[in-house]
């Protein structure tokens, strides 16, 4: 089984998202949309690399036809309309197979759609990271494939391979100082808990404003679940927020998570968070198999 979790820079126009989803066909397992981030995550999976690659290509083509990055706004960092395309191995597929699929797909999409492609993770011979791309693309680093400058409407793509990660957001309680003060709290919490600033291993985190809710959010990627799982991340955010007079009021899962991660969580946490087996990759794959 091979998974592909594509992040596109659109979360506000239902007609665009519906058209992109329709292009994916039966490989589509889940869509998560966020208007504040102006971003959506499409989870694709299939038994063969060819099946997943074809669905990902159809998604990319439909997205690029409909999104103009010159007028894009949103709080999430991005480099393109089809922003991030990670290929994720699920047993018995191995990482080297996912990496090969990512490289083949990146070369093809650059040629067919004329968009610059930057590889990351195991798909990149130098093993550079997604944050590296966001920091250096077109300035210190040239694309691996495609034109040497951003596409006028589609920007560029980060294409890679990675282990299964969990993307999860923690909403903080509104304080008395207004949204700007709450965002400062969220940023301070994110800095305290993320690995690069001495926090939890395998944790990337940023603080954002959710204008639609008038609240702040700690947006997090757990890239090494063996080191830091979902509940451990929650406890770290909760404690860091408490130091600053705030609390975690809600959780938002972006995409799906592995069933093994749910098994690590306490019943109390699962009851509070609302996370359930229906949100696992295994459950969605099983449902897709039964409907095939």
Active-site amino acid positions = 76
The conformational region for residue 166 under phi > 0 = left, psi -120 to 50 = alpha, else beta, is beta
Cβ neighbors of 67 (< 8 A, separation 6 or more) are 8, 9, 10, 16, 81, 153, 154
Identify whether 124 is preceded by a cis peptide bond (ω within 30 of 0).
no
d(CA 234, CA 224): 15
Contact status, residue 32 vs residue 8, Cβ threshold 8 Å:
no
Cβ neighbors of 129 (< 8 A, separation 6 or more) are 120, 121
Give which of 40, 22, 45 is closest to 282, Cα–Cα.
45
Q: First-to-last CA distance in the chain? A: 15
Work out the number of other CB atoms within 10 angstroms of the CB of residue 152. 9
d(CA 80, CA 151): 9
Give which of 218, 257, 253 is closest to 238, Cα–Cα.
218
Calculate the alpha carbon distances from 278 to 126, 187, 228, 232, 287 in Å: 37, 31, 22, 21, 10
Contact status, residue 59 vs residue 24, Cβ threshold 8 Å:
yes
């Amino acid at each position: 089984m091979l998974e592909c979790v594509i992040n596109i820079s659109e979360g506000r126009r239902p007609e665009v998202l519906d058209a992109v989803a329709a292009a994916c066909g039966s490989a589509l397992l889940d869509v998560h949309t966020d208007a504040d981030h102006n971003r959506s995550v499409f989870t694709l999976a299939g038994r063969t690399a060819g099946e997943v690659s074809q669905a990902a290509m159809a998604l990319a083509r439909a997205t690029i036809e409909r999104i103009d990055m010159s007028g894009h706004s949103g709080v999430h960092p991005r480099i393109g309309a089809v922003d991030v395309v990670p290929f994720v191995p699920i047993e018995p597929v191995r990482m080297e197979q996912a990496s090969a699929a990512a490289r083949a797909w990146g070369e093809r999409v650059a040629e067919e759609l004329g968009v610059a492609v930057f590889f990351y993770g195991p798909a990149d011979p130098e093993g550079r990271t997604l944050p590296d791309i966001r920091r250096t693309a077109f300035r210190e680093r040239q694309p691996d494939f495609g034109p040497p400058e951003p596409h006028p409407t589609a920007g560029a793509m980060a294409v890679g391979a990675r282990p299964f990660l969990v993307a999860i957001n923690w909403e903080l309680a509104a304080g008395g100082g207004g949204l700007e003060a709450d965002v400062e709290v969220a940023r301070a919490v994110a800095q305290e808990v993320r690995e690069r600033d001495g926090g939890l291993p395998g944790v990337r985190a940023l603080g954002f404003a959710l204008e639609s809710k008038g609240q702040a959010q700690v947006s997090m990627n757990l890239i090494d679940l063996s080191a830091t799982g979902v509940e451990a991340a929650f406890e770290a955010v909760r404690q860091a927020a408490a130091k600053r007079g705030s609390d975690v009021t809600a959780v938002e899962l972006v995409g799906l998570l592995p069933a093994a991660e749910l098994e690590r969580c306490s019943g109390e946490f699962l009851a509070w968070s609302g996370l359930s087996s229906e949100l696992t990759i295994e459950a969605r794959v099983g449902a897709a198999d039964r409907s095939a």
